Chain A
Amino acid sequence: MILLKLIQNELYKIFSLVRSYIGIILFTGIVPLILWGYGMGTSHIEGQIESSVSDMFFIEGSPTNGFTAAYFIMNFFWIHIPFLLALVGGDIFAGEHANGTFRVYATRPISRVSIFTSKVLATMIYTFIFVFYFGLLTLGLGLIWHGGGDMLVFHNGVLILESSDALVRFFIAYFFSFMNMVLVSSIAIFFSTMVRNAVGPVIGTMALIIFILMVSSLPLEVFKGIQPYLFATYFSNWEQAFFDPIPWGDLFRGLGLVASNIVMFLGIALIIFRRKDILS
């Protein structure tokens, strides 16, 4: 019961901050713009698709639709979303330290573990809302704007997904993307427990992600051995939801590594937070 009240408080605080709406406002503006642009360039895209598959298929109707538009947009934003999430996750502890409000909050008869849990869960709820909104906007608006139909995916040839199957694949892709973004928020929370200003955790989170991303994508033999153990290796694993057959083994192996990283970052953050002396 007390945890629910604490989560309610944390959500109230998150949604009272302007920074929490930056990403939502940004997507509300840019996704329709991309969908409009996508529609304007349809004939060019269609021409490219038709020329690459004309010797295999006869295409009736348009190969571009809401599904392909949503897929196109997802490829675009998976590096931008972490930054927007880090703005909120990085502020969750450090922002309160900077304002001095943590001193007021922590004197109440509640355990540090409860405070920590409520902040983590509220951040994850925000992450879910963010990813859900992104999904709703890209897929929902995409389907309204460009219509449904079968979805063409280019992977080891051409894969045609029926619209009902495509929808399920999108839900799977959004789930794995959400888990990756939970990891991003966990990293931001980890940095947030260590410092007393909100800028540091945002920079720290992005620096770590970019660093791991670079190491995980370097085509050098020396890094090949460690790449499967780096979380950034799996940041684009949502794409596998559109493979045929879906490589569930790879997906869950990636998910396991992402989940273990979430546990590790949050575990260390909890230890830091429980031991932390609040001096300001």
Chain B
Amino acid sequence: MSETELTTPQSPSPLTSDEVTPALACYGISKRFKSIQALDDVSISVPRGSIFGFLGPNGAGKSTLIRVFAGLIAADKGHFDILGSSSLKGHRVRNDMSALVDRADFYKNLSAYQNMKILGRITGHDSDEHINRLLDLLGLYERRKDKVKTFSQGMKQRLGLAQSLLPDPKLLVLDEPTTGLDPQGMHEIRDFILKIAAEQNVTIFLSSHLLHEVELICSDIALIFNGKLAAQGSMRDIFREIDNVTIELEVEDSKTTLAFLEKTDLVTQITPLANAISIEIHYNKIPELIRLMSAAKINIFSVSQRNRLENYFLSLMEGK
């Protein structure tokens, strides 16, 4: 018998404190504006490296919380940490953070380059090379000498993103960055966010009321209603909690498919649409349904799950 070398399973290398510390953590933040309780004891933890979606209907308190992080308003109670640095230290907490709050606004009589220079000078990130690289990254290099008042809303929003990247932040807070943009502009900004997250190794905290947008790009989310945190976690964990989902089936023969679906007990609701059939089904039953449809020789062109997050969002709202 050959001698067997006993080895102990190799334990995974321990995480460094930097990896464990959340990019952003807030503890019991409350804020009241006269009779309105805008934030009520909100605590959130944003994992490093994530694109974190912060969701809520209009007036839920998203912008208020972001303004607290950005130092634009003071919380009545609670505090927050950014990459391990406490807000109790004052403005230095934002050394590694940058924020684009609400729409991007500029000194309109100055050029894109001059606007970048003014903000870059504050943190010592105003070298021509750095500014031009960021303008190039956001597709504005060719227009750098033009006055901002000649820019479209989409270009302004991109310039706002470029400005927010000036201090090489490790955490980028974006408050509804696609608001007011046309579909092409929204698409561009989404692409830029993904590009920034990948290329600049930045944690992104993205506030939005556009659920589809968040579903497309975020790995983690938190939901807020009436100033109170309703849920938070990874997108995967949250979707696991969802029982019934809505899916759209694009099939060759709608009539036969509808007859088939009416006979099966897997589906709870059927809605014929112009070019597809929308059904409500338990998340775990989807594979079985597709198998049965294939066995029944129904030609399926596409199965798309729509508005998972919206369903979850609405179910939470109904429960409130």
Chain A residues with a Cβ under 8 A of chain B: 2, 5-6, 8-9, 12-13, 16-17, 99-101, 103-112, 275, 277-279
Question: Could you give 21 example pairs across A and B, Cβ below 8 Å?
Answer: A5-B122, A9-B118, A9-B121, A16-B110, A16-B114, A99-B105, A99-B106, A103-B72, A103-B105, A104-B119, A105-B122, A106-B72, A107-B70, A107-B71, A107-B94, A108-B167, A109-B92, A109-B93, A111-B90, A111-B91, A277-B67
With contacts A2-B122, A104-B163, A278-B73 taken as known, whether A109 is within 8 angstroms of B94 at the C-beta atoms is: yes
Excluding A12-B118, A109-B95, A112-B91, 7 further A-B contacts by CB distance (< 8 Å) are A9-B121, A16-B107, A99-B106, A103-B101, A104-B104, A109-B92, A278-B67
| Separation of A101 and B107 alpha carbons in the complex (Å) | 7
With contacts A16-B107, A101-B105, A101-B107 taken as known, whether A5 is within 8 angstroms of B91 at the C-beta atoms is: no
Contacts of B67-104 to chain A: CB distance below 8 A: 67, 70-74, 90-95, 97-99, 101-104
With contacts A13-B107, A16-B109, A109-B95 taken as known, whether A5 is within 8 angstroms of B101 at the C-beta atoms is: no
What 7 A-B pairs are tightest by C-beta distance, nearest first? A100-B105, A278-B72, A277-B73, A109-B94, A107-B70, A107-B99, A111-B91
A103 touches B118 (CB 8 A): no
Cβ of B108 within 8 Å of any chain A Cβ, yes or no, is yes
A99 touches B108 (CB 8 A): yes
Cβ of B127 within 8 Å of any chain A Cβ, yes or no, is no
Cβ of B152 within 8 Å of any chain A Cβ, yes or no, is no
| Separation of A17 and B98 alpha carbons in the complex (Å) | 27
How far does the Cβ of B86 sit from chain A's closest Cβ, in whole Å?
14
A107 touches B98 (CB 8 A): yes
A13 touches B122 (CB 8 A): no
A99 touches B72 (CB 8 A): no
A-B contact count (CB 8 A): 80
Q: Which residue of A lies closest to B68 (CB)?
A: A277
B103 touches A100 (CB 8 A): yes
Contact flags (1/0) for B258-277 with A, using CB distance below 8 Å?
A: 00000000000000000000
Q: Which residue of B lies closest to A9 (CB)?
A: B118
A8 touches B92 (CB 8 A): no
| Separation of A98 and B44 alpha carbons in the complex (Å) | 32
| Separation of A101 and B105 alpha carbons in the complex (Å) | 5
Contact flags (1/0) for B25-68 with A, using CB distance below 8 Å?
A: 00000000000000000000000000000000000000000010
Cβ of B200 within 8 Å of any chain A Cβ, yes or no, is no
Which of B74, B91, B109 has most chain A Cβ within 10 Å? B91
Question: B74 — which chain A residues lie within 8 A by C-beta?
Answer: 275, 277
How far does the Cβ of A270 sit from chain B's closest Cβ, in whole Å?
15
B109 touches A17 (CB 8 A): yes
How far does the Cβ of B69 sit from chain A's closest Cβ, in whole Å?
9
A5 touches B121 (CB 8 A): yes
Question: B123 — which chain A residues lie within 8 A by C-beta?
Answer: 108-109
| Separation of A5 and B118 alpha carbons in the complex (Å) | 9
Question: A16 — which chain B residues lie within 8 A by C-beta?
Answer: 107, 109-110, 114
How far does the Cβ of A131 sit from chain B's closest Cβ, in whole Å?
26
Question: A108 — which chain B residues lie within 8 A by C-beta?
Answer: 94, 119, 122-123, 167
Question: B73 — which chain A residues lie within 8 A by C-beta?
Answer: 277-279
Question: A105 — which chain B residues lie within 8 A by C-beta?
Answer: 119, 122
| Separation of A12 and B120 alpha carbons in the complex (Å) | 14
Question: A104 — which chain B residues lie within 8 A by C-beta?
Answer: 101, 104-106, 119, 160, 163
How far does the Cβ of A83 sit from chain B's closest Cβ, in whole Å?
22
Which of B72, B73, B104 has most chain A Cβ within 10 Å? B72
B121 touches A8 (CB 8 A): yes
Question: B163 — which chain A residues lie within 8 A by C-beta?
Answer: 104
Q: Which of A101, A110, A275 contacts B91 (CB 8 A)?
A: A110
Q: Which of A110, A112, A275, A278 contacts B122 (CB 8 A)?
A: A110
A99 touches B91 (CB 8 A): no
Q: Which residue of A lies closest to B64 (CB)?
A: A279
B119 touches A279 (CB 8 A): no
| Separation of A2 and B122 alpha carbons in the complex (Å) | 7
| Separation of A111 and B91 alpha carbons in the complex (Å) | 6
